[in-house]
Structure 1
Amino acid sequence: MTEYWNAYLENGQKTDKILQRGKPIPQGLYHLVVECLIIHKDKSILFMKRDGKKPSFPNHYEASAGGSALLGESSEIAILREVREETGIQLQVEQLIHHLHFVKHEQQCIFDTYWAEVDCEKGTVTLQEAETTDFIWVAHADLPSFLEQELLIPRQKEAIEQLFLEKEQPQKTIV
């Protein structure tokens, strides 16, 4: 099935143009990408393992569910759909905490990133065929070794380190 997206200007303003996945995006236009970090009420983080056949970052864990907003979808509706499709977790808009909004010029993407706390049975996470092959809930105490030992999408690895680990590092004294 062909996937269509709304086209946006760099400032986030929606245009009347329509983009198609796989076709070049005209210069000066962007499409909306959404991501959501899922944190369990026990503070463990959900990581999904990308399918080995994915063109970008195959067999890497990602610290989010997400993807492109489809034609007509708001950022919030898109992330609810993506989380449901990729993890089986049914979020409500009220659970979403908007974290970051940034532009990746080289990819012609506008990113909206969220996080949400869930209180679900951890084993009920589902995989999406041709998208994900495994999942793991990582406890906060296990994050450093997980990040060191597993393949993660580099941008997400850096974000997880900044969000959850940097505050714990002792201050370095310059002598």
Structure 2
Amino acid sequence: MEYWDLYDVHRVKVDRTVQRGQALQQGQYHMVVHICIFNSDGEMLIQQRQPFKEGWPNMWDISAGGSAVAGETSQLAAQRELFEEIGYEYDFQNIRPHFTVNFERGFDDYYLIFEDVPLHTLTLQYEEVKNVKWASMGQISEMIQNGEFIPYYESFIQLLFQNRKQRGTVQR
């Protein structure tokens, strides 16, 4: 059973949790993280969700992401999600999110990493990830148009690509 910490509109943690799947009340928010890995060829590492995965089955998505569980900071959630989903270790301890997107039920922190990750070194989480590959901005836009990629706004995907080498992007 997974529990999420709850936050107020100012992103201050309140002394309550909610079980995943339960409806959030007005004024309650939870934290989500996404990690985008870019390589030196200007491509983003994308993952294909398993066909039996609830929510967007068999569709392609950005590198990794998910909800922070109770007790986690944004950084710990990013580190856990990245390792769980694709077996890639990265220390986010002293890193802030590149930006945060507010959505109806919470805060979504985005971390941008610039690193050439060899695909053969990744270990995919069977329960969630079917496949990974590198894709250009144009390829991802085409996949969105063809209904193969989670329907992000194409302008949002462009924002991710345009910011991949800007100040705040993590590089080792």
TM-score between the two structures when normalised by the length of structure 2: 0.82
Whose helix fraction is larger, Structure 1's or Structure 2's?
1
Give the letter for the 1:61 counterpart. Answer: W
Q: Percent identity?
A: 33
CA distance in 2, matches of 1:39, 1:101: 18
Could you tell me how far apart the structure 2 residues matched to 1:148 and 1:44 are?
14
Distance 1:156 1:83, change over 3 A: farther
Contact 1:49–1:60 (CA under 8 A) maintained in structure 2: yes
TM-score of the superposed pair, with normalisation by structure 1: 0.80
> Secondary structure, in 3 states, of the residue corresponding to 2:10?
coil
The structure-2 alpha-carbon separation of the partners of 1:53 and 1:158, relative to structure 1 and needing over 3 Å to count, comes to farther
RMSD: 2.1
C-alpha contact 2:140 2:149 (8 A) present in aligned 1 = no
1:112 aligned partner = 109
Q: How does 1:1-175 map to 2 (within 5 A)?
A: 2-93=1-92, 96=95, 98-105=97-104, 108-138=105-135, 140=136, 143-149=137-143, 151-155=148-152, 157-164=154-161
Q: Which runs of 5+ in 2 are unaligned?
A: 163-172
Q: 2: distance between equivalents of 1:38 and 1:26?
A: 34
Which protein shows a greater Rg? 1
Any gaps of 5 or more consecutive residues in structure 1? Answer: 166-175
Task: Give the distance between the partners of 1:25 and 1:130, measured in 2 at CA.
Answer: 26
Q: Secondary structure at the match of 1:10?
A: coil
